[in-house]
Amino acid sequence: MTAPPPAQSADRPGPVPGAAGPAAPSPAIAPSAWNIANYLTVLRLALVPFFGGLLLVGSGHSATYRLAALAVFVVATITDGLDGEFARRKGLVTDFGRISDPIADKALIGTALVGLSLIGEVPWWVTVLILVREVGVTIMRFLIIRHGVMPAGRGGKVKTFLQSLAVAGLVFPWWILPMAELSRSAALTLLYAATAVTVATGLDYAVKAQRLKRTSARTMAKKAARREARDIRRDARER
């Protein structure tokens, strides 16, 4: 005779037939690129041609259009602070935002500097130096993206703030102020300081990009594959 199965303990019930086990934790869902933070970044990019057009009306000699250009520049600059705030507070940080945000900053500042140089407010060597740095960093971003995304650092934000402050002072029709030349000189001095920070942060970015390239998972996997291939060839020769 077959012995009856042991009784289940009252305080430790056995599994119920057909019942599902504990649910596996759901993977974290990445935020969509279609969010308010990225909308603000795209808006900043869309404002760039309007700003440039207003700045160049009348070869930059119209106080009214210069003030209109300044208003557009200020709005675009405000979106730069808002998109980052929304992304951090609401968990809306995306790869699109990490890449497009600094590109929007560069497009706005680059347009401003070229326009100000065209109307004789900023020396061309300053504009060229800053643009070379900005384009170089953008190219590095795309070259290094296979190894990882490098978001804008604190130094980059300081650089953008100084550039924006200097540009705003130079876009403003300074000749309508009582101390016109002093105001223009102060804005130019600030721009020179921003240029120094721009060059320094560009060099720092290049160093960090090389470090990321050397230590990324992609590079480590390639090195491991090359070591394995060398070991296989060495073992084959020894046999």
In a domain, 133, yes or no: yes
Spatial separation of the C-alpha atoms in residues 173 and 162, rounded to whole Å: 19
In this prediction, residue 46 carries a pLDDT of 93
In a domain, 120, yes or no: yes
Q: What is the mean pLDDT of residues 198-206?
A: 89
Residue 96 in this model has a pLDDT that exceeds 90? no
- The 10s digit of each residue's pLDDT in 135-191 is 888 888 777 777 766 666 677 778 888 999 999 999 999 899 888 889 899 999 999
- The 10s digit of each residue's pLDDT in 72-81 is 999 999 987 7
Nearest in space to 121 (alpha carbons), one of 169, 160, 87: 169
Q: What's 178-194 look like in SS3?
A: CCHHHHHHHHHHHHHHH
In this prediction, residue 10 carries a pLDDT of 43
Q: Which two tokens stand for residue 31?
A: 């935020």
Residue 13 in this model has a pLDDT that exceeds 70? no
Spatial separation of the C-alpha atoms in residues 114 and 129, rounded to whole Å: 12
In a domain, 110, yes or no: yes
Greatest alpha-carbon pair distance for the chain in Å reads 112
What share of the chain has pLDDT > 90, as a percent? 37
Higher pLDDT pick, 116 / 92? 116
In this prediction, residue 74 carries a pLDDT of 95
Q: Which two tokens stand for residue 111?
A: 């347009």
In a domain, 29, yes or no: no
Domain that holds residue 145: 36-229
* 12: helix, strand or coil: strand
Number of domains in the chain: 1
In a domain, 127, yes or no: yes
**DSSP category for residue 11:** T
- Give buried/exposed letters for 193-221 (b at 16+ CB in 10 A, else e): ebbebbeebbeebeeebeeebeeeeeeee
Q: What is the mean pLDDT of residues 98-103?
A: 76
Higher pLDDT pick, 94 / 2? 94
* 30: helix, strand or coil: coil
In a domain, 166, yes or no: yes
In this prediction, residue 218 carries a pLDDT of 65
Query: What confidence tier does 4 reach under pLDDT thresholds 50, 70, 90?
Result: low
- The 10s digit of each residue's pLDDT in 23-51 is 444 445 666 667 777 788 889 999 999 99
What are the counts of helices (DSSP H) followed by strands (DSSP E) for the chain? 7, 0
In a domain, 4, yes or no: no
- CATH number of the domain that 142 lies in? 1.20.120
- Which amino acid is present at 36? I
Spatial separation of the C-alpha atoms in residues 106 and 113, rounded to whole Å: 10
In a domain, 186, yes or no: yes
Query: What confidence tier does 128 reach under pLDDT thresholds 50, 70, 90?
Result: very high
Spatial separation of the C-alpha atoms in residues 224 and 239, rounded to whole Å: 23
Q: Are 37 and 87 in contact (CB under 8 A)?
A: yes
In this prediction, residue 195 carries a pLDDT of 95
**What residues pair up with 9 in beta bridges, in sequence order?**
12
Spatial separation of the C-alpha atoms in residues 163 and 198, rounded to whole Å: 9
What share of the chain has pLDDT > 70, as a percent? 74
In this prediction, residue 216 carries a pLDDT of 64
Spatial separation of the C-alpha atoms in residues 148 and 26, rounded to whole Å: 25
